Each structure stands twice: as structure tokens, then as C-alpha cells.
Amino acid sequence: MSGHSYDAEAYWKANLRLIFGSLIVWALVSYGFAILLRPMLAGIPIGGTDLGFWFAQQGSILTFIALIFHYAWRMNKIDEKFGVHEE
Amino acid sequence: MSQFAINIMFVGGSFLLYIAIAIWAKAGSTSDFYVAGGGVHPITNGAAIGADWMSAASFISMAGLIAAGGYANSTFLMGWTGGYVLLAMLLAPYLRKFGKFTVPEFIGDRFYSKNARLVAVICLIVASVTYVIGQMAGAGVAFSRFLEVDSTVGLMIAAVVVFIYAVMGGMKGITYTQVAQYCVLIIAYTIPAVFISLQLTGNPLPPLGLFSTHVDSGMPILDKLNQVITDLGFNEYTADIDNKLNMVLFTLSLMIGTAGLPHVIIRFFTVPKVADARWSAGWALVFIALLYLTAPAVASMARLNLMTTIYPDGTAAEPIQYDERPNWIKEWEVTGLIQFTDKNEDGRIQLYNDSEAFAPTAEARGWNGNELVVNRDILVLANPEIANLPGWVIGLIAAGGLAAALSTAAGLLLAISSAVSHDLIKGSINPAITEKGELLAARISMAVAIVVATYLGANPPGFAAQVVALAFGIAAASLFPALMMGIFSKRVNNKGAIAGMLTGLAFTLVYIFVYKGWLFIPGTNNLADTPENWVLGISPLSIGAVGAIVNFAVAFIVSNATEEPPVEIQELVESVRYPRGAGQAQDH
């Protein structure tokens, strides 16, 4: 990466931003909606229980899958943009 | 054909398949043995990770725990899937770029210290061996139930099968046998669930069935379940809980442990490119989610089925006569995992919650205590029998449960053997060892690990859940922070990393041993393992998350008080952050 140190830094920052955003969603659906914020979602009924229960048993898992594929797709774009991808 | 013959056919047939694949893919060079030549497609790799990851704990035990605990045990579902987000973003791509064989090798190089590598080897071996003990014990129990043999004999059969394909095939054997095992275990898990979901809700997809209407009562199935079990004095299935701190920490501990377990991380060395490491994590979670989205449905439906079997005319009417109990209860009674005592001597099976709040109701009904004790770990295995499904489904679930236990055991054995031969012997004791000698050492250490795990699996140092929790706690508190700091911080140095790993490990082990007994020896615990005794209500199962925080904190403090890492190490950290150039790393 010598000679491209400015780009290298920008690339790493773009990665960190993407990770940070993803982990906020990651924590929000699991620790937030499914556990700590469940009382707030108790008013939203779903199939005999509430939305918090759904997030604890299904919603968080589905969100995790979406997060990883989104990250992989975005990072591959970022790799190309900064020219650090593998041929 | 008898059920025994059907079980033999399914279990035997699946094993022949695994062994045939292992022989077909017999390893050649050392790099083949460890990482399957570096050329595994992300989807194939994802399925192999799925089989590796989903052990006897996921397949046999988890739904039973959710059935018993309801909402509170959703921690297992979130914890054992959310770790893949951490893996995909914080570890896998960079470790693939680094391009070495093993986890301790990365830690040793990044922290420029043989001692760091040795500490990592110790953490890895302790975490992996304890995990394998649980798997071997689980496999032994499943064998003994379905092949109707003694549990020790079941364990021996399991050991021989794992030995053959792990030692002979190496990872290439394991990668493809594990794809086959994934197929067997996911089919085995979902087919009975689809049948049961159809029976109860008319919806063929179990995850949707969980939130659908119960056909017999016209109520949402979770409402029906809540009603039935609260009538019998149990807590509501979907009820919220008070101790949220412990729930958060337990989930976090399982997530970090997932990302720190060496046998999963090693899988990401086997993909051709850095981009593929990211995709592999996504595919792995898709394959895992197929089971994890089915499990909560299995849990609630099996619990409802169990209750309606015992109370066929509703909870207000009397339960069934013991003499008219279904066949599956008789069969499980033989194993001792279902026990009946007719406390009020009326010949009926009273199944309810012996709580103080329910005591007046029980007394009014002439009940003298709960009479049926059902072990949680049998729920998934007994599920097809409870729902009266055909014999071939029961044979299938036997094969699936064994696939889950054996595939994880094999993956862990590989991680252990490569740590011993590559990191311990080649990395420190005898660097001049030949490739042939290294391969031999890998196979010998695998064989030794199998013997140790089989011996301890026959006399496990506690319940399987305790053993598995220790493995997760150790991985979470020791390896994950070191790996993550090695990539995301240029400032953390050798002294910081070693101090962090050792304090994280020691803190976690001590907290667990205080409540569970030293080295899990019964009676040596200092405090009773009850919520009143836990510090801030944190259970020993959740302490790994705190251990990880301790590890991070110590590493930062010690690193900042000592010198910066050398320039070449900072350049190494820089280089693992950029994918370009990873292509060469696979050709050792």
C-alpha cells in the first residue's frame, strides 16, 4: 500500500463506518428490541404474543443474515472503489 | 421392520456415506490437511461451517431448553447466530488475508511473541477439549438410545467413527463429509417439524406455524400453550423476565464465544479470496438459520403436544392412566430419562409445576406432587414419537443427531491437532520438523485428543450444558479480544495481549469454578449455584462476556503503559486490513 497511504486510510475509515452502522443495528434488534426494549413493543401484537418475542425468536436472526450480506456486498464495492480488491 | 432395524439402517447408511467421502478425499500435503488446499467455494464452506457449528447442543438440546424456559431461553437463538455478524465484520476477512494455518499462529505473529502463541494454544486446547467432551457424551447417549446398546459402547462406536474420518481424511475429508452431515442433520431436523406444524396449525412452514392459529382450539398457538401451562402452574411461555442484565450478558457471551471458537475461525482460511470469507460467513448463517428458525417452533409445539398427550381431555379433566401411556414414554423410561412415580396412587400421570402458588389448586384436585420428570435433552429426539410420526422419521432424527455431534467433534479435533503439531511442536519445540513429521504429529495429537475426550465423555465433569458454557466462556474471554485487538489496534503490544488473555481466562475460570466446583469436581464449589449467590445476578454461564471486557481493559492499560509495537508489526496490522495480495498467501 506504500504510496497510497491517504487512500488506505480512507478505505479503512469507510470500513469502520460500515461496521459501526451494522453493529448498531445488530445490537438494536437483539439487546434492544428482543430484551431491554421489549416492554415498549409489548403493545404490538403478533400471533398470540408481541413483537419483542418475535425479535427474540426470529426477527434478530433474519436481521443478522441481512446485515452480513449487506456488509459483504458493500465492502466488495468499497474494495473496488479504492482498488484494494483481488483480481 | 422393527424400529431398531430402521434406526440401524439410517445411522449405518449415513456413516458409510461420511467414511466413503473421507477416503475419497484422502489428504495429500500438509496444507491440504489443514485447510483443504485453500480452494473451497463460499456456499460449500458455509454448509461445512453450519455442520461444524451445530453440535449436539443445537440439535438435541436447544429446543428442549427453549420449551422449558420459553422466552427467557431465546438467548440461545440470538447468541448462537449473532456471533456470525462479529465474525464476518471483525475477524474473518482479515484473518484470511493474514493467510496462516491456525489461530495461535496469528496471535504469535501479531504480538511478536512465542509466549503469546503458547498462551493462545492453551486457551484453544482447553476450550476445544471441553467442548469435545460434551459432544462425545451426547453422541454416546444418542447411540445408546437408538442402537439400544450400553452408553459406554455407544461412546466407543462414536470415537472409532470420528477417529477414522478425522485422522485419515484431514480437513478436506472433513469439509466434504461435513457438507454431507449438514444435509443429513437439516433434513432430519426439519421433516418432523413440518409434519407437526401441519398437524397443529395447518401451516407447512414451522417458523410461520409458530405464530399461526391452533387448529383444534382456534386460538393462536402461543396463546393456547400459555393457557395450558398456566392452568398447570407453570410460568407463561411468552412472559417477559426481570433479570435483563443476566439475559444480555448471557447472549453476549454466546455471541463472542461463537466468534472466538477456533474450529469455526479456521474455516475462513479455506476460501480462495478475502471477499469469499465475508460471503462464507453469510452463507454459514443462512444454513444455520434454517435450523435456528425451526427450533423455536419445535420447542413450543413439542411442549403443547406433550401436555395434550398427558391431558387428552383438557387441563380441567383428569390426566391419562399410567397403564395407557403411549409407547414412547415406555421406551424412554428404559433409559431413565423419563421417570414416573405415582405419588397420590391414583394410577394417573399428574404432570404440573410444584410451586407454592399452585399448591392450593393441586391439593384441591387431590394431587400429591408432580409425578412425571422429563429430561429436557430428550425432547427433540422424542418429538417425532410424541407426534406419532412414522418409523423412518425416527430413524432419520437419530442419524441427524449423531451427524450434529460427530461433525462438531471432528472440527474441534482438527483445531486441537493443528494447534499441537503446528503451533506447539513446529512453532516452539522443534522448528526443524519435516512436513511428514508434522503430519504425523497432527494425527497422533488428534488420536490422543479423541482418547482423552472419550474417556472424559464417559465420566463427564458435570452436565453437558456446563461443559459447553465453559468452552464458550473461555473462547469469549481469551481468544476473541486478542484477535480483535490484533486487527483493530496498532497500539496493543505483546505484553498487553498476554496480560489480557491470562486475566480474562483466569477471571472467567475462577467465577465458574466458585459456583460449579473446581475443575467441575462435585462438592468443591464455594457457593451454591443459585441466583441469590450470583454477583449482581450474573450467572456463571454469562460470565464470559465480563471476562472479555476484563481482557480488553487489561490489554489496553498494559499496552499503554509499555512500549509501542515495532514498526514492522504496525505494518503487518496495516496489511491485514487490505484484501489485495491475499491470493499468494494460500500457496505455502
The length of chain B is 588
A75/B275 CB distance under 8 A: yes
> Looking at residues A14-37, what average pLDDT do you find?
95
B127 belongs to a structural domain: yes
H or E element in which residue B496 lies: helix B494-516
State residue B90's pLDDT score: 94
B561 belongs to a structural domain: yes
- Are B348 and B208 members of one domain? no
H or E element in which residue B43 lies: helix B42-53
The grid coordinates listed for B205 are 412452514
Query: Mind listing the pLDDT tens digit for each residue in B520-565?
Result: 666 778 888 888 888 888 988 899 999 999 999 999 999 999 999 9
Of A8, A47, A87, the CB nearest to B220: A47
- Are B270 and B367 members of one domain? no
Domain boundary among B326, B353, B382: B382
B575 Cβ under 8 Å from any chain A Cβ: yes
B54 belongs to a structural domain: yes
A1/B574 CB distance under 8 A: yes
Alpha carbons B247 and B563: distance in angstroms, whole number: 39
Position B25 confidence tier, pLDDT thresholds 50, 70, 90: low
State residue B585's pLDDT score: 39
**DSSP at A35:** I
> Looking at residues B123-146, what average pLDDT do you find?
79
Q: Give Cα separations from A23 to A52, A55, B49, B155, B585 (angstroms).
A: 19, 16, 22, 42, 29
Domain boundary among B351, B382, B413: B382
For A67, name the nearest residue in chain B, comparing CA atoms only. Answer: B85
Position B58 confidence tier, pLDDT thresholds 50, 70, 90: confident
B301 belongs to a structural domain: no
pLDDT value at B48 more than 90: no
pTM for the structure as a whole: 0.89
- Are B224 and B351 members of one domain? no
- Are B488 and B565 members of one domain? yes
- Residues in A closer than 8 angstroms to B252, CB to CB, are 31
State residue B531's pLDDT score: 84
Of B82, B248, B579, the CB nearest to A86: B579
A-to-B residue pairs, Cβ atoms closer than 8 angstroms: 141
Alpha carbons B570 and B56: distance in angstroms, whole number: 41
State residue B506's pLDDT score: 93
A38-46 long-range contacts (CB < 8 A, ≥24 apart) are: A38/B240, A39/B240, A42/B240, A46/B211
Alpha carbons B253 and B334: distance in angstroms, whole number: 37
Q: How many CB atoms lie within 10 A of CB B23?
A: 13
- Residues in B closer than 8 angstroms to A42, CB to CB, are 240
State residue B584's pLDDT score: 41
- The percent of residues above 70 in pLDDT, for chain B, comes to 91
B492 belongs to a structural domain: yes
- Are B485 and B373 members of one domain? no
Provide the number of structural domains found in chain B: 2
ipTM here: 0.93
A53/B238 CB distance under 8 A: yes
B296 Cβ under 8 Å from any chain A Cβ: yes
Residue-number span of the structural domain to which B560 is assigned = 3-295+386-586
B211 Cβ under 8 Å from any chain A Cβ: yes
State residue B168's pLDDT score: 62
H or E element in which residue B338 lies: strand B338-340
State residue B84's pLDDT score: 94
Kindly report the CATH number assigned to the domain that includes residue B442: 1.20.1730.10
B575 belongs to a structural domain: yes
B172 belongs to a structural domain: yes
Helices (H), ranges, B149-273: 151-201, 206-209, 221-231, 244-260, 262-265
Alpha carbons B400 and B407: distance in angstroms, whole number: 10
pLDDT value at B406 more than 80: no
Query: Mind listing the pLDDT tens digit for each residue in B343-393?
Result: 888 889 999 998 888 999 998 888 988 999 887 777 888 888 888 888 888
- Are B60 and B12 members of one domain? yes
For A12, name the nearest residue in chain B, comparing CA atoms only. Answer: B577
pLDDT value at A6 more than 70: no
- Are B206 and B342 members of one domain? no
State residue B460's pLDDT score: 62
State residue B415's pLDDT score: 80
Alpha carbons B68 and B90: distance in angstroms, whole number: 34
Q: Which of B98, B128, B117, B87 is nearest to B35 (CA)?
A: B98
- Are B371 and B437 members of one domain? no
Environment class of residue A48 by beta-carbon count within 10 Å: exposed (0-12), middle (13-18) or buried (19+)?
A: buried
A8/B575 CB distance under 8 A: no
A72/B219 CB distance under 8 A: no
Alpha carbons B238 and B191: distance in angstroms, whole number: 25
- Are B183 and B152 members of one domain? yes
Domain boundary among B321, B351, B382: B382
CA distance B195 to chain A (A): 20
**CA B407 to mean position of chain CA atoms:** 11
H or E element in which residue B440 lies: helix B435-458
pLDDT value at B588 more than 50: no
B580/A83 CB distance under 8 A: yes
| Contact (CB, 8 A) for B297 and B212 | no
State residue B194's pLDDT score: 94
- Are B376 and B392 members of one domain? no
Position B134 confidence tier, pLDDT thresholds 50, 70, 90: confident
Helices (H), ranges, chain A: 5-27, 38-41, 51-54, 60-81
A47/B222 CB distance under 8 A: yes
B300 belongs to a structural domain: no
The grid coordinates listed for B209 are 406455524
- Beta-bridge partner residues of A49: A46
- Are B327 and B182 members of one domain? no
State residue B481's pLDDT score: 96
**Mean of per-residue pLDDT scores for chain B:** 85
Residue to substitute from B580, B586, B587, interface A, most A β-carbons within 10 A: B580
Q: Which of B489, B477, B480, B457 is nearest to B543 (CA)?
A: B477
- Are B396 and B474 members of one domain? yes
Position B465 confidence tier, pLDDT thresholds 50, 70, 90: low
> Looking at residues B81-98, what average pLDDT do you find?
92
pLDDT value at B586 more than 80: no
CA distance B159 to chain A (A): 34
% helix, strand, coil for chain B, step of 5:
75, 0, 25
pLDDT value at B288 more than 70: yes
| Contact (CB, 8 A) for B372 and B351 | yes
> Looking at residues B21-36, what average pLDDT do you find?
58
The grid coordinates listed for B119 are 498462551
The grid coordinates listed for B269 are 482460511
B579/A68 CB distance under 8 A: no
Tell me how far apart the 2 most distant CA atoms of chain B are, in Å: 80
Position B587 confidence tier, pLDDT thresholds 50, 70, 90: very low
- The percent of residues above 90 in pLDDT, for chain B, comes to 36
Q: Between β-strands A49-50 and A45-46, what pairing exists: parallel, antiparallel or unpaired?
A: antiparallel
B293 Cβ under 8 Å from any chain A Cβ: yes
- Residues in B closer than 8 angstroms to A72, CB to CB, are 88, 275, 278-279, 281-282
The grid coordinates listed for B95 are 484473518
> Looking at residues B202-212, what average pLDDT do you find?
93
